[in-house]
């Protein structure tokens, strides 16, 4: 008697198989640029769907380790990472996962190229994107700081393609007092007499990718006042020339829900030598470039995890039979998946639009209006895509039935890892309040919103589907009338619904813009169907 055997979901080349990425790149990149970078994307797609995916499944039960003492009683605080992460580090350096953005071979579009590589790489490497995001953010922060000594010393390590020279960076902000309200930080910086070196004393409560060679951190120079302004931004190296930790004790690794391949530590700094990056105060402001970059990576990670879940789920639907037909022929199952696909596509276009704007700001090719848009869309994109990633991952697991809940399918990790996206680098609420601040940065939030609305409506010029244009317009009009009516506590209380409405409205606008292009130039209706679906689900969360 032959017994039934279920075929598992499989992945092909993750670039070749990705209609959304390929179609987007064909629209935004000149043909010669696309031609030039295509090979790198095909290769990363091959690794992500092949070698790295296989290694990821095989590496499932491995976790990072902390060895605090050697056999002879010396405190060593040694971190071991898993085979997948060791391989990921090498591939990341060689394939320029950080370097591509700084080599700027294609000007501002190098950011788009880098984000496309990161999007392909991330879902097969169990959040190796975390150290890369912070490394990229550290490079950008140091370059913006004007501190030539640190730029010359550290940046070449952060942006090299040579795995032997490659450094990763941590960012140590969160203390027990709070990750959102970092102005409460207690770490003290004491200046060594007659020198530019400071020594840091304090406890850092969440420090991810603790195997890194350097970190940017916040501490309060002695004598400075309270709050974020009294903090300064510091550069430190985690080990001395003999490989010993620089007066840093790793107290323990966090036992986390997800991102379990990422060694996230609690630290004590006990006289750690550090250099000022940019003046003895305003540390929170000075670290902002790092947060803008890590928030971009967060959004790219969100869409990449959604894409991975859906790639597996669509494949499985063609292999799993129920009630006499494959799931891919069951109208309700298909309806469920295409609704998730629409969420993913909308999120994709917003995350990559922020990549485009980031690239233009780095090459100083950005107008004032687009500068404001980038300031506003960075938190809006991060908070909107983070929420979508958790929802999509949860539904993806359900689309596999019981198998989605079983660890050795490799599926549950998608949900656990997605759950970090709305938490770190600014929770949904904290970013919603930042969205209000971004509108205020122009002096008048109403005027800021008008400029935003004008930019969104402009991007839908030439779109034929007036129903969708009207859905976007109605949501933005509602946002404007709400903003005009509320103040004080009511404004703060509604900030999340307001920001999500802006996020989803701009997602729909970008998706329909792309859909019109795909229809006009590629006779491809799939993006339009996703836009129509996303519009039907709705974008307005304000009440």
Ligand X SMILES: Cc1cc2nc3c(=O)[nH]c(=O)nc-3n(C[C@H](O)[C@H](O)[C@H](O)COP(=O)(O)OP(=O)(O)OC[C@H]3O[C@@H](n4cnc5c(N)ncnc54)[C@H](O)[C@@H]3O)c2cc1C
Question: Does 178 engage in binding with ligand X (CB under 6 A)?
Answer: yes
Q: Which residues, numbered 189-218, are part of the site for ligand X (CB under 6 A)? A: 206-208
Could you tell me the CA-to-CA distances from 135 to 138, 161, 215, 282 in Å, in that order?
A: 5, 13, 9, 21
Question: Does 427 engage in binding with ligand X (CB under 6 A)?
Answer: yes
Count the Cβ atoms, other than its own, within 10 Å of residue 322: 11
Rounded to the nearest whole angstrom, what is the least distance from the CB of residue 504 to ligand X in the complex? Answer: 19
Question: Does 424 engage in binding with ligand X (CB under 6 A)?
Answer: yes
- DSSP string across 143-191: HHHT-HHHHHHHHHHHS-S-TTT---EEEE--BTTBSS-GGG---EEEE
Question: Does 168 engage in binding with ligand X (CB under 6 A)?
Answer: no
Question: Does 429 engage in binding with ligand X (CB under 6 A)?
Answer: yes
Rounded to the nearest whole angstrom, what is the least distance from the CB of residue 257 to ligand X in the complex? Answer: 8
Which residue in the set 24, 119, 166, 172 belongs to the binding site for ligand X (CB under 6 A)?
172
The one-character DSSP state at 443 is S
For ligand X, the closer of residues 377 and 433 by Cβ is 433
Question: Does 430 engage in binding with ligand X (CB under 6 A)?
Answer: yes
Measured torsion, CA atoms of residues 63, 69, 70, 73, in degrees rounded to the nearest 10 = -170
Could you tell me the CA-to-CA distances from 457 to 433, 465, 482 in Å, in that order?
A: 24, 13, 19
For ligand X, the closer of residues 373 and 420 by Cβ is 420
Question: Does 336 engage in binding with ligand X (CB under 6 A)?
Answer: no
Closest chain position to ligand X (CB): 179
Question: Does 500 engage in binding with ligand X (CB under 6 A)?
Answer: no
Could you tell me the CA-to-CA distances from 94 to 40, 47, 164, 330, 428 in Å, in that order?
A: 11, 13, 10, 44, 34
Rounded to the nearest whole angstrom, what is the least distance from the CB of residue 265 to ligand X in the complex? Answer: 9
For ligand X, the closer of residues 60 and 256 by Cβ is 256
Distance CA 415, CA 399 (A): 13
For ligand X, the closer of residues 259 and 516 by Cβ is 259
For ligand X, the closer of residues 123 and 179 by Cβ is 179
For ligand X, the closer of residues 8 and 178 by Cβ is 178
Which residue in the set 264, 298, 301, 527 belongs to the binding site for ligand X (CB under 6 A)?
264
Rounded to the nearest whole angstrom, what is the least distance from the CB of residue 439 to ligand X in the complex? Answer: 17
For ligand X, the closer of residues 47 and 210 by Cβ is 210
The one-character DSSP state at 406 is -
Rounded to the nearest whole angstrom, what is the least distance from the CB of residue 262 to ligand X in the complex? Answer: 7
Question: Does 109 engage in binding with ligand X (CB under 6 A)?
Answer: no
Distance CA 157, CA 153 (A): 8
> In terms of DSSP bridges, do strands 214-221 and 188-191 run parallel, antiparallel, or are they unpaired?
parallel
Buried b (16+ CB within 10 A) or exposed e, 30-51: eeebbeebeebbebbbbbbbee
For ligand X, the closer of residues 179 and 448 by Cβ is 179
For ligand X, the closer of residues 6 and 180 by Cβ is 180
Question: Which tokens go with 220?
Answer: 């309060």
Q: What are phi and psi of 439, to 5 degrees?
A: -65, -35
Question: Does 235 engage in binding with ligand X (CB under 6 A)?
Answer: no
Question: Does 238 engage in binding with ligand X (CB under 6 A)?
Answer: no
Could you tell me the CA-to-CA distances from 327 to 68, 311, 315, 334, 506 in Å, in that order?
A: 51, 15, 10, 8, 33
Rounded to the nearest whole angstrom, what is the least distance from the CB of residue 207 to ligand X in the complex? Answer: 5
Which residue in the set 22, 27, 60, 256 belongs to the binding site for ligand X (CB under 6 A)?
256
Which residue in the set 6, 35, 180, 464 belongs to the binding site for ligand X (CB under 6 A)?
180
Distance CA 183, CA 397 (A): 39
Distance CA 152, CA 71 (A): 39
For ligand X, the closer of residues 125 and 207 by Cβ is 207
Question: Does 171 engage in binding with ligand X (CB under 6 A)?
Answer: yes
Distance CA 513, CA 283 (A): 39
The one-character DSSP state at 210 is T
DSSP E strands, 307-380: 321-322, 325-326
Question: Does 341 engage in binding with ligand X (CB under 6 A)?
Answer: no
Which residue in the set 13, 108, 141, 174 belongs to the binding site for ligand X (CB under 6 A)?
174
User: Which residues is 169 bridged to in the sheet?
Assistant: 214
Which residue in the set 147, 168, 259, 384 belongs to the binding site for ligand X (CB under 6 A)?
259
For ligand X, the closer of residues 77 and 425 by Cβ is 425
Q: Applying CB under 6 A, which part among 38-46, 48-56, 423-431, 457-465 lies near ligand X? A: 423-431
For ligand X, the closer of residues 299 and 359 by Cβ is 299
Q: Which residues contact 258 (CB under 8 A, 6 or more apart)?
A: 413, 415, 416, 417, 418, 419, 420
- Report the interface residues with ligand X, using CB under 6 A: 170-174, 178-180, 206-208, 256, 259, 264, 420, 423-425, 427, 429-430, 433
């Amino acid at each position: 008697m032959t017994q039934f055997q279920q075929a598992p979901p499989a992945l092909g080349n993750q670039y070749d198989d990705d209609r959304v990425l390929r179609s987007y790149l064909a629209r935004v990149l000149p043909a010669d640029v696309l031609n030039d970078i295509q090979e790198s994307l095909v290769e990363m797609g091959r690794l992500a769907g092949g070698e790295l995916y296989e290694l990821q499944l095989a590496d499932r039960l491995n976790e990072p380790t902390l060895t605090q003492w050697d056999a002879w009683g010396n405190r060593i605080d040694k971190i071991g990472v898993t085979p997948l992460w060791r391989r990921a580090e090498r591939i990341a350096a060689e394939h320029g996962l950080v370097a591509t953005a700084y080599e700027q071979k294609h000007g501002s579009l190098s950011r788009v190229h880098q984000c496309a590589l990161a999007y392909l790489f991330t879902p097969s490497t169990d959040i190796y994107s975390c150290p890369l995001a912070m490394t990229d953010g550290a490079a950008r922060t140091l370059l913006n700081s004007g501190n030539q000594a640190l730029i010359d010393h550290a940046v070449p390590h952060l942006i090299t393609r040579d795995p032997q020279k490659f450094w990763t960076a941590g960012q140590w902000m969160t203390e027990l007092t709070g990750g959102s309200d970092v102005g409460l930080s207690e770490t003290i910086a004491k200046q060594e007499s007659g020198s530019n070196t400071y020594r840091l004393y304090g406890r850092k409560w969440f420090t991810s990718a603790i195997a890194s060679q350097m970190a940017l951190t916040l501490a309060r120079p002695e004598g400075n006042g309270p709050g974020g302004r009294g903090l300064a931004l510091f550069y430190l190296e985690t080990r001395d020339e003999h490989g010993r930790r620089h007066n840093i004790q790793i107290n323990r690794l966090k036992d986390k829900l997800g991102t379990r391949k990422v060694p996230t530590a609690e630290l004590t700094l006990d006289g750690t030598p550090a250099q000022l990056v940019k003046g003895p105060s305003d540390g929170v402001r000075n670290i902002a470039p790092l947060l803008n970059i890590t928030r971009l990576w967060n959004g790219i990670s969100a869409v990449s995890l959604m894409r991975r879940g859906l790639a597996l789920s669509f494949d499985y639907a063609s292999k799993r039979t129920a009630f006499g037909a494959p799931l891919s022929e069951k109208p309700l199952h298909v309806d469920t998946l295409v609704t998730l696909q629409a969420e993913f596509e909308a999120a994709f276009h917003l995350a990559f639009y922020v990549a485009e704007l980031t690239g233009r700001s780095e090459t100083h090719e950005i107008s004032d209006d687009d500068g404001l848009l980038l300031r506003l869309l960075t938190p809006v994109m991060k908070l909107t895509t983070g929420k979508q990633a958790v929802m999509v991952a949860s539904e993806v697991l359900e689309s596999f039935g019981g198998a989605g809940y079983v660890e050795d399918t490799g599926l549950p990790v998608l949900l656990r890892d997605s759950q970090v996206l709305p938490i770190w680098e600014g929770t949904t609420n904290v970013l919603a309040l930042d969205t209000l601040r971004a509108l205020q940065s122009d002096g008048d939030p109403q005027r800021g919103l008008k400029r935003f609305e004008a930019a969104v409506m402009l991007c839908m010029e030439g779109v034929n589907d007036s129903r969708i244009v009207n859905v976007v317009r109605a949501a933005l009009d509602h946002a404007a009338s709400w903003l005009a009516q509320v103040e004080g506590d009511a404004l703060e209380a509604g900030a999340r619904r307001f920001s999500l409405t802006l996020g989803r409205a701009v997602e729909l606008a970008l998706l329909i813009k792309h859909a019109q292009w795909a229809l006009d130039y590629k006779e491809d209706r799939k993006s339009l169907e996703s836009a129509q679906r996303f519009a039907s689900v709705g974008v307005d969360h304000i009440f």
